[in-house]
Structure 1
């Protein structure tokens, strides 16, 4: 199991959003983007390694002479969404200095000082060390430390982002997979509505700890002089895998640049999945309302992926819809003709990062007439009591989804293609 997957599935139930194993912006992005990091309105993909691959921002006007952060271009016919006045709720101290979020471990007494001591205004560096113990009974452990705390921001009108995404999702898949030639697996498209960001952090994971002795980890953060950035490091015993943020000067942000809050610890937003075997467009008058969910015969296979649903495995000459959804034409989808949903191939960790929303989106497409399913990061939080350890809780999660959806009058959206929301 990749360390990024251990980290994500242990911290997902904490309900802060998707935990980013690589919070730092990717090096190939413009300086303007690297200074701000992942932000509201970003469209991209959460990669299997836990990094956010930025594609474009829905609020940024793009021109060939002045692309801004939309350095890769924008989809054909793209018109940016209006940001609005005071568009986001912002909490500068959502996570206080020296705080930590952890799973299957406990904080021990600080070895020296305390995380986040001092503000750099005195002529000496401030240092803090904090320890963590991993119990011998823990099968997996993940922890995140925030020596400088972290801010949180969320777009007020996330339903506007949802509507904008509904109207443009398929063209965004086309842009990423065809024009840019990147691999955007069906269901991987992510639109950011909120995030938590920091200046410094430490991450550690432990997989399958079976020793009779507990593991110990010590995280040290040293704050430089006169407001300089933190220098972070780990000291670990046993099989722990640590990561930590770099100092500002190591990010090549420019001379005398104070470390910005550009390290994205958690991301919140919409995940979008198109129906596998998307058929040719029909007239909106043929939309079908779904009154209840009764057919659950394939629920035990909803967490399985079909190779044909991923772009890149398609044969030459197929349309972009086929490359995105697996549709081959001829009046039947792959699912109808081949029942690809029952394949025994589990989700390939090298293809897509697991998320509980994938389960919800597949269920919606399996049990409704919707062509596209769109769900928000917070939509599965109400289900988390039956899913405390994703993705090993598919049975309980699916039962809860069935129960909730069977009590609703589910109707496709009035827009075309028909969309199913889970909210």
Structure 2
């Protein structure tokens, strides 16, 4: 699913979009947000470690988070709402075609479909550079923090969320 949907260029497609966090009761209510740092678990969950955006991180971050793990000012973490994904939108990679009768035909060895019957909302950070700068400065420490928290993650598997697309209903197909 993930490999096929990455071709659609709409971010990292989570097979299981339900957020995972053993730290915060608040985090699962709102789900993944701009500024979240975490990684994708083997079961497809996004494993939340912490959030770097000052306005939202106080209620969801762990208490023992090292200094320097957030952006300097709330202005650096301002987001904007993008054009919504319309209802009944279907995201498909180039290897999948839809016939006039509504059937899907995969022209490759594998494929995936994501249908959004109620559409979706999209949001992204306005200023990406502060996110990039902090990740470059603190990336190694973020990995070390994940290890301290008992996570076994490989190099290159940590994500800093700078945009998201969320929906209330979806359907997927994988072949």
What residue number does 2:136 align with? 166
What residue number does 1:80 align with? 70
Q: 2:165 aligns with which of 171, 183, 196?
A: 196
Query: CA 1:62–1:39 in structure 2 vs 1: closer, same or farther (change >3 Å)?
Result: closer
The whole-number CA distance in structure 2 between the counterparts of 1:37 and 1:182 is: 20
Kept in 2, the 8 Å contact 1:41–1:59? The answer is yes
What residue number does 2:105 align with? 134
Question: CA shift at 1:20, angstroms?
Answer: 1.2
Which runs of structure 2 are paired with 1:229-240 in the superposition (5 Å)? none
Query: CA 1:77–1:86 in structure 2 vs 1: closer, same or farther (change >3 Å)?
Result: closer
SS in 2 for 1:100: strand
Kept in 2, the 8 Å contact 1:8–1:18? The answer is yes
- RMSD of aligned alpha carbons: 2.6
Kept in 1, the 8 Å contact 2:69–2:138? The answer is no
Kept in 2, the 8 Å contact 1:61–1:79? The answer is no
Matched, 1:101 2:106: no
What residue number does 1:401 align with? none
What residue number does 1:153 align with? 123
Matched, 1:42 2:59: no
Which runs of structure 2 are paired with 1:379-394 in the superposition (5 Å)? none
The whole-number CA distance in structure 2 between the counterparts of 1:190 and 1:79 is: 14
Q: 2:80 aligns with which of 89, 94, 97?
A: 89
SS in 2 for 1:12: helix
Question: CA shift at 1:92, angstroms?
Answer: 4.9
Question: Unmatched 5+ residue regions in structure 2?
Answer: none
Aligned residues, how many?
A: 173
The whole-number CA distance in structure 2 between the counterparts of 1:87 and 1:25 is: 22
Q: Choose between structure 1 and 2 for higher RCO, CA contacts under 8 A separated by at least 6 residues.
A: 2
Query: CA 1:143–1:79 in structure 2 vs 1: closer, same or farther (change >3 Å)?
Result: closer
The whole-number CA distance in structure 2 between the counterparts of 1:20 and 1:73 is: 28
Question: Unmatched 5+ residue regions in structure 1?
Answer: 1-6, 111-130, 207-423
The whole-number CA distance in structure 2 between the counterparts of 1:32 and 1:164 is: 25
Output the TM-score relative to the length of structure 2: 0.85
The whole-number CA distance in structure 2 between the counterparts of 1:26 and 1:132 is: 34
SS in 2 for 1:68: coil
Query: CA 1:97–1:139 in structure 2 vs 1: closer, same or farther (change >3 Å)?
Result: same
Question: CA shift at 1:51, angstroms?
Answer: 2.4
Question: CA shift at 1:86, angstroms?
Answer: 8.1
The whole-number CA distance in structure 2 between the counterparts of 1:79 and 1:61 is: 14
Kept in 2, the 8 Å contact 1:47–1:53? The answer is yes
Which runs of structure 2 are paired with 1:13-412 in the superposition (5 Å)? 13-26=7-20, 28=22, 30-60=24-54, 68-71=59-62, 73-74=64-65, 76-78=66-68, 80-81=70-71, 82-84=73-75, 87-93=78-84, 95-103=85-93, 104-108=95-99, 131-135=102-106, 137-177=107-147, 179-206=148-175
Kept in 2, the 8 Å contact 1:107–1:132? The answer is yes
Kept in 1, the 8 Å contact 2:21–2:47? The answer is no
Kept in 2, the 8 Å contact 1:60–1:70? The answer is no
Question: CA shift at 1:72, angstroms?
Answer: 6.8
Decide which structure has the larger Cα Rg and report it: 1
Output the TM-score relative to the length of structure 1: 0.38
